[in-house]
Amino acid sequence: MDDGSCRNDPIQDMIHDAFGYHPNDETMDEVGVSRGEVWIATHKRSDGSAVNDAASVIIDKITSYEASGSCSSQEVSQYDSLAMALGSQEHSGRVRGLGLGPTPSQVFGVRARGRSSDPTYTEMQNELTQLRRKVIENEEQTRLKDAKLERMQAFQTSLLQSLPGYLPSQVLQNLEALNEGISQSPPSCNQRDGQPPPDS
């Protein structure tokens, strides 16, 4: 991008020289190129350096995605190296890295503005699915703990009821009420089997 263009468009932070006339035009072989490679070529100066820091970060991401093989290097898709590096939806009516001609529906065959086509949306959906799975697992663990607690309470009640001579009858009544979900006042410590406490 020449100095005049920079002065005419000071707000643009991601400058490029896409589809400009280069002094030394490059010929295309029969081997295809990816959108990421096109984006890199149009965001570098003639000396090979990035046009600015923001472009340098994107170039590093594209290079990393293509080197890892996680994205197809030549197939144009909504999940290719450029889409993953930029991480946002395609602009309405055009496809990044392919100029102003092709539209998203022509290139991708679907409406590319849909949320389901956004890599970030897909990632959030995966996280939501994992969180739902964890909630279900936690609910199951809680249910098992509640069932175990009920069994322990039933065992405790039957054990205490087998010793009626040693416990106040009010304690037994409260235990039964507790199992039925009824709250009653605590028993008197001195009361035994319905007998009033001795006079002091």
pLDDT tens-digit readout, 88-139: 666 566 666 666 666 666 666 655 445 555 667 778 888 888 898 899 999 9
Our count of domains for the chain comes to: 1
User: How far is residue 2's CA from residue 11's CA, in Å, rounded to a whole number?
Assistant: 15
| Residue 135 in domain | no
| Residue 191 in domain | no
- Which residue is associated with the tokens 């006339």? 21
Q: Give 28-86 pLDDT, tens digit per residue.
A: 445 566 777 887 888 888 888 888 988 888 888 888 877 776 555 566 666 677 777 77
User: How far is residue 85's CA from residue 57's CA, in Å, rounded to a whole number?
Assistant: 9
User: How far is residue 126's CA from residue 136's CA, in Å, rounded to a whole number?
Assistant: 16
**According to the model, what pLDDT value does residue 26 have?**
47
DSSP state, residue 44: B
| Residue 128 in domain | no
Nearest 10 degrees: CA dihedral of 171, 176, 179, 185? -50
| Residue 153 in domain | no
pLDDT over 70 at 165, yes or no:
no
Q: At what angle do helices 119-161 and 169-179 cross, to 10 degrees?
A: 150
**According to the model, what pLDDT value does residue 44 have?**
87
Domain enclosing residue 98, as ranges: 3-117
User: How far is residue 73's CA from residue 36's CA, in Å, rounded to a whole number?
Assistant: 8
- CA 171, distance to chain mean position in Å, is 52
Q: Give 167-195 pLDDT, tens digit per residue.
A: 666 666 776 777 666 444 444 444 444 45
| Residue 162 in domain | no
